[in-house]
Chain A
Amino acid sequence: MRERETGEAPSGREGADPRETGRRIRARRRTLGLDQKALAARIGISPAYLSLIENGRRKAPKALLERLAAALDMAPAQLLGVRTGADWAEVLATLAARHRPADPPRPEIAHAERLVAEYPGWARLVIEQGREIEALEARLAILADRLSGDPYLADTLHALLSSVTAVQASADILARTPELAPAEIERFRFNLSVEARRTADRARALLEHFDRSRLDRPLEATTPREEVMVLLARHDHHFPAIEAAGNASSAAARAAAREVAGALGAELSAEARPLLHAALELLAEDAAALPLSGLAAALEAVGLDPAVLCARLDVAPARLFRRLVALGAKEGDGPMRELGLVAFDRAGVVLWRHQGEGLTLPRLRAACALWPVFRARADEIGHHRLLTDRGTPIEAWTAVEIRRGAEGVARRISWQLVRQIRHDAGHGGGSAAGRQLVVGASCRLCRRASCPERREPAFFAPPVPESASGAPD
């Protein structure tokens, strides 16, 4: 099917994005176990140039693209993202699985290929609409957070206005009241100088906040922790330097983490930098304790069964979860790539978020209260099969990690590893679907019609009432 290219099928132009092309080249190269140096040598360019292409900063000319494709055993069109009919059918099937309506008739996923072949126009419409909806929903989630949950912006602005008010009121009294007693003059001068300094500090903090917002992450990063999560996501949670050092020793990995944190921290706010350092140090300790090669071998032997893997590799569940996600990032396009990971503290605030493909995980806070992560136990890995509010079957593993904080205080952090259950794989276990727990990301985005845990209404009107239990809310 690689030879049969139907470039005109749904939206063949999307391959024009050099970043997408670069990502495909990198993923394929990693799958083949080649490093940049080796691939660059094969096609006769410098590793630095290859790196620019992989990062989407240079567009490979046609002749070079052909050499690249040959070295990677792919059709050039595939590198550009021009897909075959079979590829499009798969895209359609994935979309359909993600948005399965509650009531029949359901999409005939098995006939996706026929739909693409016979009605390419309709197929294209469905795909483009599906993507548009997903993009809009992602944006909505960010905006909703920003409006209702940007505590930093609200607090800083409020504090700034308060200190401006104090400055203005004190200065006005000093300027307009000739009969002030010396003690009063002293008091208002003191207030004026303290509040003027606070005004300056707060204005600077606010400017920094807006400055950061002007960069390439206009909406996402609203708190220092979010900044770190956005940065980690941009690097795909994968830091080759830390991984390489982790193979040597824990100390080397931590040194590498410090170095990476120093280099990347420059683009973050001052408050976010220590958080980045801590996050990378955690990843470094993970890398030293469980090299990805060992994990990949164990995974191949026993499959994705976290409880068995923990016992076999002698690691704590939370660490295993993080390493599985790291493996997915390293593989580029393997099955582990679909894993999502999210962590909460005891108050339900999101501490860690790795968005798996096709999943919606909560952002700042106010996660769905029904998630099994909130019932996670310290002594065992929980495993749950769930349905999302869109009807997508997912499975989740939960574990609790106790970490020593700065003053030796134990922090209890609950981790949840999530992935979508593929339509064909989950088919057999679908008999109990009607009784499965339905979870969302957060109330504002949840389509579930009636839910005992609903805190606030959704943006969207719920599409269909739940047929499962019929229990009135």
Chain B
Amino acid sequence: MGEEDRHRQERAENGTGRGEPARLCLVEDEMAIAEAISFLFEREGWQVEVVTDGAAAINAVRRVRPDIVILDLMLPGRSGYDILRDIKADPTLAGTQVLMLTARGQERDRERAAALGVDRFMTKPFSNLELVGTVRMMLEGAGEETEG
């Protein structure tokens, strides 16, 4: 029990350099996907805030001030592009990275997300290992140059 906790703590701090768990915000309207992803992230010791509505997303992000926002593109209320634009336009969120996670993986969507300053772009379906690995890499590389 204690060992497991310590292990998680180590993993969680990995790369953040703050001595506290990484904070993530997951914006995803499909509950089954949100449950799976938050389970995976929590297992890594990361704190996860799940938002299922596009309109509520930006306020949640401002409140949580996460290290990374994992953002779906097609959302009720407000599109992922708009939320991405809001995040990137907010100077208080300068340290927040955005991983866009979408079933729309066309070149056009990637280009548009890149133009809006997205940090990473992943398409659904993804493998759990790949997703966790990408987020870990983003956390480790925070503040460094990322290879979008």
Which A residues form the contact surface with B (CB < 8 A)? 157-158, 161-166, 168-170, 172-173, 176-177, 184, 187-188, 191, 194-195
Nearest chain-A residue to B123 (Cβ)?
A: A161
Contact B35 A172 (CB under 8 A): no
Chain B interface (Cβ < 8 Å from any Cβ of A): 30-33, 35-37, 39-40, 43, 74, 103-104, 124-128
The residues of A that contact B36 with a CB separation of less than 8 Å are: 166, 169-170, 173, 188, 191
A161–B124 alpha-carbon span in the complex (Å): 6
A184 with B32: CB separation less than 8 A? no
B120 to chain A, nearest CB (A): 17
Interchain nearest-CB distance for A29 vs B (Å):
51
Contact B127 A173 (CB under 8 A): no
Contacts of B124 in A (CB 8 A): 161-162, 164-165
Q: Which of A161, A166, A172, A176 contacts B32 (CB 8 A)?
A: A166
Are A169 and B103 within 8 A (Cβ)?
A: no
Chain A residue at minimum C-beta to C-beta distance from B101: A165
Q: Which residues of A contact B126 (CB under 8 A)?
A: 165, 168-169
Q: Which of A158, A168, A184 contacts B39 (CB 8 A)?
A: A184
Considering only CB atoms, which chain B residue lies closest to A176 in the complex? B128
* CB nearest to A164 among chain B residues: B125
Q: What are 16 A-B contacts with C-beta separation under 8 Å?
A: A161-B103, A162-B30, A162-B103, A162-B124, A164-B125, A165-B126, A166-B30, A166-B33, A169-B32, A169-B33, A169-B37, A169-B126, A170-B35, A173-B39, A176-B128, A187-B35
Provide the residues of chain B in CB contact with A165, threshold 8 Å.
30, 33, 103, 124-126
Contacts of A168 in B (CB 8 A): 125-128
In the complex, what's the smallest C-beta–C-beta distance from A182 to chain B, in angstroms? 14
In the complex, the answer to whether B103 meets A158 with C-beta atoms within 8 Å is yes
- Residues of chain A within 8 A (CB-CB) of B127 are 168, 172
Instruction: Kindly count the residue-residue contacts between A and B in the assembled complex, taking CB atoms under 8 Å apart.
Output: 58
Chain B: interface secondary structure?
helix
In the assembled complex, how far is the CB of residue B56 from the closest CB belonging to chain A, in whole angstroms?
A: 20
Q: Which residues of B contact A184 (CB under 8 A)?
A: 39
A166 and B124 CA atoms in complex are apart in Å by 9
A162 in complex: contacting residue of B33, B35, B39, CB < 8 Å: B33
Query: Which among B31, B32, B39, B74 has the greatest number of chain A C-beta atoms within 10 A?
Result: B32
B40 near A158 (CB under 8 angstroms)? Answer: no
- Of chain A, the residue at the smallest CB distance from B29 is A162
Kindly list chain B residues whose C-beta atoms are within 8 Å of the C-beta of A170: 32, 35-36
For B74, list chain A residues within 8 Å (CB): 158
Q: How far is the CB of A199 from chain B (nearest CB, A)?
A: 10
- The listed residue with most A CB atoms (<10 A of its CB), out of B30, B31, B35, B36, is B36
Compute how far the CA of A87 lies from the CA of B84 in the bound complex, rounded to whole angstroms.
Answer: 62
CB distance from B31 to the nearest CB of A (A): 8
Give the chain A neighbours of B40 by CB distance below 8 A. Answer: 169, 173
Seed contacts A158-B104, A170-B35, A188-B35; 8 additional CB < 8 Å A-B pairs? A161-B124, A162-B124, A165-B125, A166-B30, A168-B128, A169-B33, A169-B40, A195-B32
A157, closest chain B residue (CB): B103
Contacting residues, chain B, for A161 (C-beta < 8 A): 103, 124-125
Q: How far is the CB of A62 from chain B (nearest CB, A)?
A: 55
Contact in complex: B125, A172 (CB < 8 Å): no
Closest Cβ of chain A: how far from B45's Cβ, in Å? 14
The 8 Å CB contact of B128, one of A157, A172, A187, A195, is A172
Nearest A residue to B37 via CB reads: A169
What's the least CB distance linking A203 to chain B, in Å?
13
Decide: A169 and B128 in contact? CB cutoff 8 A.
yes
Cα-based distance from A157 to B39 in the complex (angstroms): 26
Q: What 10 A-B pairs have minimum CB-CB distances, sorted nearest first?
A: A161-B103, A169-B36, A166-B32, A165-B125, A165-B124, A191-B32, A172-B128, A164-B125, A166-B33, A168-B125
CA separation between A177 and B37, bound complex, in Å? Answer: 14
B-side contacts of A188, CB under 8 Å: 35-36, 39
The answer for the CA separation of A162 and B30 in the assembled complex, in Å, is 8
Q: Which residues of chain A have C-beta atoms less than 8 A from B32's C-beta?
A: 163, 166, 169-170, 191, 194-195
- Do B128 and A173 have beta carbons less than 8 Å apart? yes
- CB contacts (< 8 Å) of A162 on chain B: these are 30, 33, 103, 124
A162 to B124, CA, bound (A): 7
CB distance from B3 to the nearest CB of A (A): 13
Residues of B within 8 A of A176 (CB): 128
A421 to B80, CA, bound (A): 49
Q: How far apart are A221's CB and chain B's nearest CB, in angstroms?
A: 23
